[in-house]
Amino acid sequence: MKIDIDFLRTRLLGSTFISDIIYIPEVNSTNEHSKNFKDKDNLLVITDNQISGKGRYGRVWESAPEMNLTFTIKKNFDIEPDDIQAVNFFFTNFTLSGITEYLKCEQVLSNNDFLELKWPNDIIFRKKKLCGFLIESDIMEGNFYIGCGINVNQKEYNNDYDYKTTSLVKSFGREFNRTELLAKIIELLSQNIHLFDNHEFDNILKLWMKNFNMIGKEIVFTDDRNFLGKAKITAIKRDGGLQILVNNEVKTIYSGDIRILYQN
């Protein structure tokens, strides 16, 4: 089933921060497409078929037609370079809250089941990746392109890289309504956008940390695919850095991926 764009327009325009929705049935990448609308603010670009989705580090983001959510929010932020990471913290955390709220309404999430954040900007469920973000920006203009891919009704994925991929259908054994899920996410983002407008960046990080359960965990970190080392996470810095203890030395890394070494 296709995204119900009329439903989205009725539910979101006028009552959330999104002021325009562009639906394109098929597109290479919603992030790339949204860059054609530099003058628009608070724009949601969504497709049912993203044919060459971009992941971090030039990777491909795989999404079968009409199965998942692939969208980009184009928003202007008037923030200092030091606070740019708040965009990442804000969108990843409140997208997680939106998905959680939706799953609770659907009564599929039990009390000891919860979504978690993984540095720098993944949402994981039961140790597998459910959602990824590619946030691009044009700092001089203050334009941010917040690209989000959420695995919903796709049962199999080809490109697992070094992490495991999950989707809602893989996790719960039933399909979900993508339109309603997206509406819930935008509503959650909207209910909290005042944190951004009031420049409550410390608060945004504090809220992000509540869904980040990896302090003290053993990890391996990689830059794209190369193994760089084994370490323990000690903190997340406000500038987005991951503070780690490696060979008894505290270091901060700003880019790369981490893989949690789970005990089981």
Binding site for ligand BTN (CB under 6 A): 29-31, 50, 53-56, 59, 61, 70-72, 122, 132-134, 147-149
Residues 94, 96, 101, 105: what is their CA dihedral angle, to the nearest 10 degrees? 150
**How far apart are CB 147 and ligand BTN at their closest, in Å?**
3
CB of 135 to ligand BTN, least distance (A): 9
Residue 98 or 132 with smaller CB distance to ligand BTN: 132
Name the closest residue to ligand BTN (Cβ): 132
Instruction: Say how many CA atoms lie within 13 Å of 155 toward its Cβ.
Output: 3
Least separation in angstroms between CB 45 and ligand BTN: 9
Which of 152, 178, 185 has the alpha carbon at shortest distance from 167? 152
Looking at the Cβ atoms of 51 and 250, the one nearer to ligand BTN is 51
Of 3 and 195, the one with the shorter C-beta distance to ligand BTN is 3
Cα 30 to Cα 54: distance, rounded to the nearest angstrom:
9
Query: Which of 246, 212, 251 shows the shortest CA–CA distance to 232?
Result: 246
Closest to ligand BTN by CB, 71 vs 196, is: 71
Instruction: Report yes or no: 219 and 261 within 8 Å, Cβ to Cβ.
Output: yes
Work out how close the CB of 132 gets to ligand BTN at its nearest, in angstroms, rounded to a whole number: 2
CB of 68 to ligand BTN, least distance (A): 8
43: helix, strand or coil:
strand
Give the closest residue to 189 by CA, choosing from 62, 106, 102, 80. Answer: 102
**Dist. CA 138–CA 88, nearest whole Å:** 15
Using the minimum distance from each CB to ligand BTN, give the nearer residue, 34 or 195: 34
State the minimum distance, in angstroms, from the CB of residue 54 to ligand BTN: 4
Q: Which two tokens stand for residue 98?
A: 């939106």
The total of other beta-carbon atoms located within 10 Å of residue 87's CB is 22
CA–CA distance, 226 with 243 (Å, rounded to integer)? 19
Of 61 and 102, which has the nearer Cβ to ligand BTN? 61
